[in-house]
Structure 1
């Protein structure tokens, strides 16, 4: 089944999804650490933080047959990483695909979904960030049509991030690239 023929339809996460989102985050933190990438550090996000974000309506999840395949946070303001921006934007954080489903274009399709959601809400840009020291992820985002528009130094022992954006009008670009 092609993802472009059957795009994913994430749903707003509920309290019942908190533990699954947290487990997925931990799975990916451990995987990233094992790859030698300084990005998400094992155990850095407590389950209580995810619970609060779910209550605020930030998380969306993709389930199939009762299995949590992926999750992402969708925001319309990101003062911590982007500061105040004039252009209406949709911001994605915490894009996560279970490693069992990696490599099938699901991440690209979810970014397309977020762009389409942002477009419906009047956003002009889909924006996200990634660890500045992660060339593999940088290559992935460039391949999906994102442009690097700067670097943000987070300080406090955290990694620096590259800021990425693409027009929401390119909402189908990612799933075409992933084929």
Structure 2
């Protein structure tokens, strides 16, 4: 059984002032993954400017915590052609789900996923989609435990992604 959240997890749009914290969280998780043999993100593959641009585009959303600051974040998208291809049925997509390791097991990830699913329902889409590397069985199991089902795979030159989907209807 996971611990209760430290404080209620309120998801809010990231602001320009959050870009550096989002980038730092990403880098800390990349380093943690390497140290623990988890294959998901390549250290340093996401430049700060990309995060700044995505925040400015309204893609990033965050959960703040009085003790750790940025407790979690995700990117919410309404299309994801590189992973899912063109002409898909309407869906909400999540990329970059991150939780500060000090808040792992406190419900922050679930709160972010619940919020993203609610955004999809409010927009009238019937599907919630995300992906993880095929080499990351722990993250895949987390998503399947949430209710996602594996529906495919997309192969890129340097990695393969498992595609997962959840029916929102």
Pairwise same-fold verdict (TM > 0.5)? yes
SS in 1 for 2:143: helix
The count of residues paired between Structure 1 and Structure 2 equals 165
Deviation at 1:65, TM superposition (A): 2.4
Further displaced range: 61-70 or 142-151: 61-70
Q: 1:17 to 1:48 in 2, by over 3 A?
A: same
Could you give the per-residue CA deviations for residues 55-107 of structure 1, whole angstroms, max 9, x where no partner exists? 11100011122711001000001111111243210000000000000012221
Root-mean-square deviation over aligned CA pairs: 1.6
SS in 2 for 1:81: helix
Aligned runs of 1:66-145 on 2, under 5 Å? 67-145=69-147
Aligned runs of 1:1-179 on 2, under 5 Å? 2=4, 8-65=9-66, 67-155=69-157, 157=158, 159-169=159-169
Gap runs ≥5 in structure 1: 170-179
Output the TM-score relative to the length of structure 1. 0.87
- In structure 1, what is the Cα distance between the partners aligned to 2:32 and 2:61? 22
Output the TM-score relative to the length of structure 2. 0.92
* Structure 1 moving runs of 4+ over 6 Å: none
Could you give the per-residue CA deviations for residues 115-151 of structure 1, whole angstroms, max 9, x where no partner exists? 0011101111110000101111111111111100011
- In structure 1, what is the Cα distance between the partners aligned to 2:89 and 2:8? 27
Deviation at 1:20, TM superposition (A): 0.2
Q: 1:117 to 1:58 in 2, by over 3 A?
A: same
Deviation at 1:166, TM superposition (A): 0.4
- In structure 2, what is the Cα distance between the partners aligned to 1:24 and 1:47? 11
- Contact 2:9–2:64 (8 Å) recurs in 1: no
